[in-house]
Structures are given as C-alpha cells and as structure tokens.
Structure 1
Amino acid sequence: MFVAEVHTSDLLKNQSLRQRSLIIFGCCFSSFAVYYNLKTGEVMRTNKTAAQTYLLLLLPATLAAVPIIMRAGRRRSLSFSMVGLSILAAALGTAHILKAPEHVLAAVTISWLVVFILCSVAMLVFSAELYPTVLRGAGVSICYAMGRVGGLVGIFADQVLAEELKSAAYVAAAALLLLFGTLAMALPETMVHQPANTMRDITVDKWQLYSPLRVARGKRHWRPTFGGSRQDW
C-alpha cells in the first residue's frame, strides 16, 4: 500500500485539506498571538512569583499533555483546550474591566498559559501527522513571527491602553479562540493507532490504510498486487 505525499499545491487543489488547514492555522494564529501577548505582558514582567510559578508548572503540564492527548484524541484535546483558552481570555477581559487585584490577574494569566501547553502540543501533533516538515515548518514560522510581533506590541499596549480597551481586546481574542475551537471539532481524528515507538513500527504505520495522510487528503487508496500492478481499494 502506498501513501501519496502532500504537496504545497494540494492546499489549493484539495478542498477538504484546504478547509482543515485553515482551521489549524486559525487555531495556531489566535492562540500564539494571545500567548506572546501574555508571556511578555505586565503580569509576567513585573510579578516574579507569577513568572516562577509558570516555570515550575511548565514541565509537569507538558508531560501531562501527552497522556491526555493519547486518551482523549488530538481533535477533542485541541478543541476543548481552545474553548478553555477562550473562557480564560474572557475572564481576563472581565478582570481588567473590573480592575481586579494583581493576584487575580496573575492566577488567570498562569492558568491561560498552562492550558496553552496542551493546546500547542495538540496542534504540533496534528500538524506532524497531517503535513510534511516543510509545510508544517512554514506554518509554524508564520504563527511564531506574528506572535512575536503581537508580543512586542503588547508591551507598548500595556503602557498606553486603558483597562477598557485591554478588556475589549481580550474579549475579541476570546471570540476568535471560541470560533476556531468549535471549528476544530470538524477536523479528522488522526489517532487511529497508538503512536509508533520503534523504526519498524514507524515504517509499518506509514503504509497503513487509515494513516493520517490518507485521512487528510481523502484520495483513493491503492496497493500493489503480486504481479506488480497497482490495485485500487
């Protein structure tokens, strides 16, 4: 059984792959933009306790994301984490407009950053299973660059924007996160088999009928017969 490779042109030709790519890119763009805004924001820059707490939670949260994704699946992990980020972003907007104490802002910010870890791991696994390295790297690079720009803008925005404007920005971000989190449920579940842990398993998984590339492209599947000719599934 052969699995056709995904090419850049498929993003334009294949409607199913194009729609799924837009959803994944939307999830990456919206979540990374808020991440860098919060990571470089006033709370993480001025509150040393908040910054140290986040560093302590970073590794445990990353390790916890792996069994969660393996049990719940990539699609639900991504969708639910995006919805969680949306709720926390709305909470941040509410906290700003109500002029909540600093420790409340710090708690909500850290919670957002921790949930983002699950979201980012799910997006990484999704992109690794659906796209070759070149396309995946290009998409992640764009999101990273735009996120860094958002982070730099956020530093100045903290100094000049009123609390009401900050609140409106977080509410708008919450709406985007909720939108793409809901759309993420339309993505295919790529976890048909357990992840391969050896080179032999990886080689075997590459040719399986329900491999992620086949699910993503929706193309016809064919295999070689003993006579050397190809036979469609």
Structure 2
Amino acid sequence: MTGLRAVMVALAVLWLAALALVVKTGVDRLHASPWGNAAAGDMSPEVAGSTQVGQAWMAPLPGLYRIELFLQPPATGSGQPLTFHLQAGVDATSDLWTATIDPGQIVAGSPYAIEFEPLRDSRGRTFYFYLESPQSRPGEAVQFVYGPASVLEGGSAYLNGQEAAGNLVFQTYYSLRTREKVDLLLERMAEGRPYLLGTKGFYVGLAILYGLLLLLLIWHVGKKVTSGEK
C-alpha cells in the first residue's frame, strides 16, 4: 500500500503542476487591447510655424509603452521634421518622452508608432502628447487625422494648448506584468455580470475554494490509503 500512496501523491502533484502550467499559459497569452479613438472625419490644422496639435487622455491600464499616430503627410511629399512631446498632463512643464518624426516616413492611412519604456504607473493618469514643427510652412506640413465629433471619456484634442472639440485619431498600447494580466482577466470575467458575479473577489474566492477542496480530496485519499495499510 505504501507504493500506492506514493503513486497517488505523485499523480496529485503532477495534476497540480499541469493545472498551474495551463493557467500560466493562458495568462501569458492575455494581451491588453489597444485603446484610443478610431473615429475620423476630418483633418487637423497643419503642424506648421507656431501651431501645436495634441491630444489628452486618461490611460485605462498600466504599462503604457506605445502610441500610434494617424498622420497625413505633406502634399509636397517632403517636409521639415516634427517633434513629438509626451507629457504628464496638459499643464506639465517637462517631457516624459521626446522623439523626432521624419515626414518622409509617414504613410497616409498607416499608423506612425512612437515607442518608449513602459510607464508602469500609467493607469488612471492623464497624459498629453503634441506635435510641433516651427520650421514647417503652411501648405507643406503634416496634419493629424481628426474626429471632430468623436467622444472619448477622459480625452480631448488640443490646439495650441487649448481644448478643442473631438479627438485626434490615435491608439495607445500597454505592456502588462503577470499580476496585471490576472487582474485584467478577472475584470473581463466580471464585466457585465450581475450581483456577486460582477465582482473580481467572487472569482478569487472560487479559485481559493477549488484549491481547498482539492487539498481536502488529497488528504482524504491519503487517509484512506494509510488506513488500508494498517
């Protein structure tokens, strides 16, 4: 019977390891969907001279690391460089990230991506980006694709630092750690469900209960095997 008990314990351990592997694989495959505004309809003023065109929004997730801009290249096919500024709010006095954009790399209808080190504490924070190009002249400058009638909770387009109607067309991307992915998974499981089913704690409790029941089963089987040896 000692051999049988060892086999039972080994099977239980293997089963737990397999379950943990399945859960980890599922969590690792979980990715946050892009967030932003996809509703177009017009073009912004040209980014030329003293004109600055930007967008503010509140990040829905931690780990902001990529922003995709939808831009219209100059009609001439070439132009002066643009400077991208990312700041922690419209009133910020310094940049979190700065990048130079070559108008020759802009393709109409395709996003222009800006990437930087993930901002781990981005969730719930307001961010603001804008483009400027003092050397550009009207008629030879870049424009943003723009949705004047679009509504984005916590977001708005800006012209020369002043809030404007609608939103620019842009997408933001977020890199999540394992625990943040678990939290996102729980949020998705609870989303739209009534009462207790709509709380993350309910599913955490279910997982704990499942683990306790499994331990109880292993203990009960072990006790039976031990009793049979006597």
* TM-score relative to the length of structure 2: 0.27
Say which structure is richer in helix: 1
Return the TM-score normalized by structure 1.
0.27
Higher strand share: 2
Q: More relative contact order in 1 or in 2 (CA 8 Å, sep 6+)?
A: 1
